[in-house]
């Protein structure tokens, strides 16, 4: 029995079963016509529809608004492939997309296990794999978001695993694979790139420590990562006549988190509607629309520095606990699931901080790379807007850190 529960294949099957069971249970209470359309009524679904209809990477809000660089191409193209096979905005397409998300989320068990094993031994790896198997967001997100969310979580775990492996001996072959992996990851979710300089810096440090440093190999890694993204960047230059390396939407996200609606003394803006913003986007075009939002966001931040800092503080709390006022919302929540999520988030934060403290005080050489993703990845959301969905790429690493918090003290006890 112990061997069965320690089997990565068995854990993988259970992880997939948990995600599918939750998805099917939730789907049973939602009208079929809603499932066929509502989950796709977002930027990724709209672009995928345009691709399927031969219009190109465009039509961000399902209107003829021209080319877009709002998203990177991997997930919309993947979704377009599903539409081509199963139909645009159909129930079958929804189940296919959700199934694929479940596969992505379940596969993260593998890198989570091997990173946990490398840090704390086989027992730690098994615990990490089981924690990710039962991690609430890992179960909920594949069904709840037809987006790159689950795929990004998989790649964050793979990137950490690959970083720990290549740091031991980064030769040309490993550098090639590592660079290509990074390039593809950036086209899945550019926010993952926030960890790249820190991982490369740590690899360089480890190489010098073992007197095997080779700057040419690191340059190959960077060159290949850039090379994978280059066709997309060139396409953006051609379409928009300005440099957009990966995504264009940062000014809008900054404005969404920093605008007059948060100032109770302002009369300039009291609500934001999707219809109004889509109409404005269609009227101005993507480039002018985003430039306008960026200017307004910066003006707001300069005019309200104290409020902007308070908003950032609320977003930091919301990133880790799920809401900016967790104590109040816990008691006001109208469902036991919502209360459990809030409790789990608090427990996770405590466990993660405990694990990082243990790794730091024991001078574990892997402390730095394990801290990078949960420390660096959410920074952009602290200044824009945040949610547990946006934090989700951190969650496999959080599962590993929770396992470390449990396993390392037990190992010391023996």
In the predicted model, is pLDDT for residue 226 greater than 80?
Answer: yes
What whole-number distance in Å separates Cα of residue 392 and Cα of residue 394?
5
Give residues with Cβ within 8 angstroms of 363, minimum separation 6: none
**Rounded to 5 degrees, what are φ and ψ at 289?**
-55, -50
What whole-number distance in Å separates Cα of residue 281 and Cα of residue 275?
10
CB 102 within 8 A of CB 20: yes
Better-scored residue on pLDDT, 74 or 337 = 74
pLDDT digits (tens, 9 = 90+) for 132-153: 999 999 999 999 999 999 999 9
- Which pLDDT value is given to residue 62? 86
Nearest Cα neighbor of 246 from 258, 229, 259 is: 229
pLDDT digits (tens, 9 = 90+) for 106-135: 999 999 999 999 999 999 999 999 999 999
- Which pLDDT value is given to residue 208? 80
- Say if 94 falls within a structural domain: yes
Q: pLDDT band at 211, cuts 50/70/90?
A: low
**Residue 258 CB burial class (10 angstroms; 0-12, 13-18, ≥19):** buried
| C-beta atoms surrounding 362 within 10 Å | 10
What whole-number distance in Å separates Cα of residue 175 and Cα of residue 58?
34
- pLDDT (average), residues 328-344: 90
- Say if 207 falls within a structural domain: yes
- Which pLDDT value is given to residue 212? 66
Better-scored residue on pLDDT, 133 or 29 = 133
- Say if 156 falls within a structural domain: yes
* DSSP states along 42-68: SHHHHHHHHHHTT--SB-TTSSS--B-
Q: pLDDT band at 413, cuts 50/70/90?
A: low
- Say if 265 falls within a structural domain: no
pLDDT digits (tens, 9 = 90+) for 70-100: 999 999 999 999 999 999 999 999 999 999 9
- Say if 398 falls within a structural domain: yes
What whole-number distance in Å separates Cα of residue 223 and Cα of residue 123?
38
- Which pLDDT value is given to residue 335? 87
- Which pLDDT value is given to residue 321? 95
* DSSP states along 339-355: HHHHHHHHHHHHHHHHH
| C-beta atoms surrounding 232 within 10 Å | 20
Q: Which residues pair with 58 in a beta bridge?
A: 67
- Say if 212 falls within a structural domain: yes
Domain containing 346 equals 2-255+270-413
In the predicted model, is pLDDT for residue 6 greater than 60?
Answer: yes
- Say if 260 falls within a structural domain: no
Domains of the chain: total = 1
In the predicted model, is pLDDT for residue 270 greater than 80?
Answer: no
- pLDDT (average), residues 378-394: 96
Angle between helices 172-188 and 215-240 (to 10 degrees): 30
**Rounded to 5 degrees, what are φ and ψ at 363?**
55, 40
Q: pLDDT band at 267, cuts 50/70/90?
A: low
**Rounded to 5 degrees, what are φ and ψ at 67?**
-60, 155
In the predicted model, is pLDDT for residue 414 greater than 60?
Answer: no
**Residue 368 CB burial class (10 angstroms; 0-12, 13-18, ≥19):** middle
Q: What is the mean pLDDT of the chain?
A: 93
- Which pLDDT value is given to residue 57? 97
Query: Which residue in this structure is represented by tokens 């877009």?
Result: 68
- pLDDT (average), residues 263-279: 76
| C-beta atoms surrounding 103 within 10 Å | 16
Nearest Cα neighbor of 294 from 263, 260, 256 is: 256
- pLDDT (average), residues 33-40: 90
- Say if 238 falls within a structural domain: yes
- pLDDT (average), residues 363-390: 96
């Amino acid at each position: 029995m112990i061997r069965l529960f320690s089997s990565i294949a068995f854990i993988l099957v259970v992880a997939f079963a948990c995600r599918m069971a939750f998805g099917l249970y939730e789907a049973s209470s939602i009208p079929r016509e809603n499932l066929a359309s509502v989950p796709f009524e977002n930027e990724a679904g709209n672009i995928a529809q345009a691709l399927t209809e031969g219009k190109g990477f465009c039509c961000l809000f399902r209107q003829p608004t021209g080319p877009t660089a709002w998203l990177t191409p991997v997930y919309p193209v993947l979704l377009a492939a599903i539409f081509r096979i199963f139909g645009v905005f159909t129930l079958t397409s929804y189940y296919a997309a959700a199934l694929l998300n479940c596969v992505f989320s379940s596969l993260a068990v593998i890198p989570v296990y091997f990173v946990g094993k490398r840090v704390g031994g086989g027992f730690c790896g098994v615990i990490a794999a089981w924690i990710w198997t039962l991690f609430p967001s890992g179960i909920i997100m594949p069904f709840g978001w037809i987006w790159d969310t689950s795929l990004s979580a998989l790649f964050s775990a793979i990137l950490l695993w690959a970083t720990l492996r290549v740091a031991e001996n980064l030769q040309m072959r490993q550098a090639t694979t590592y660079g290509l992996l990074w390039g593809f990851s950036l086209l899945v979710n550019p926010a993952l790139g926030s960890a790249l300089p820190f991982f490369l810096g740590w690899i360089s440090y480890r190489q010098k420590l073992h007197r095997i440093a080779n700057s040419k190999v690191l340059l190959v890694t960077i060159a290949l990562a850039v090379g994978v993204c280059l066709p997309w960047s060139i396409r953006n230059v051609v379409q928009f006549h300005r440099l957009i390396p990966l995504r264009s939407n940062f000014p809008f996200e900054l404005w969404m988190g920093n605008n007059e609606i948060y100032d109770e003394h302002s009369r300039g803006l009291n609500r934001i509607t999707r219809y109004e913003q889509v109409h404005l986007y269609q009227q101005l075009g993507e480039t002018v629309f985003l430039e306008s939002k960026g200017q307004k966001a910066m003006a707001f931040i300069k005019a309200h520095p104290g409020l902007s800092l308070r908003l950032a503080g609320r977003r930091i709390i919301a990133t880790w606990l799920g809401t900016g006022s967790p104590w109040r919302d816990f008691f006001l929540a109208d469902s036991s699931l919502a209360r459990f999520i809030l409790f789990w988030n608090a427990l996770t934060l405590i466990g993660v901080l405990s694990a990082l403290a243990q790794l730091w005080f024991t001078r574990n050489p892997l402390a730095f790379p394990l801290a990078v993703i949960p420390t660096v990845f959410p920074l952009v959301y602290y200044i824009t807007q945040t949610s547990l969905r946006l934090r989700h790429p951190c969650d496999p690493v959080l599962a590993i850190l929770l396992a470390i918090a449990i396993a390392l003290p037990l190992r010391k006890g023996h």
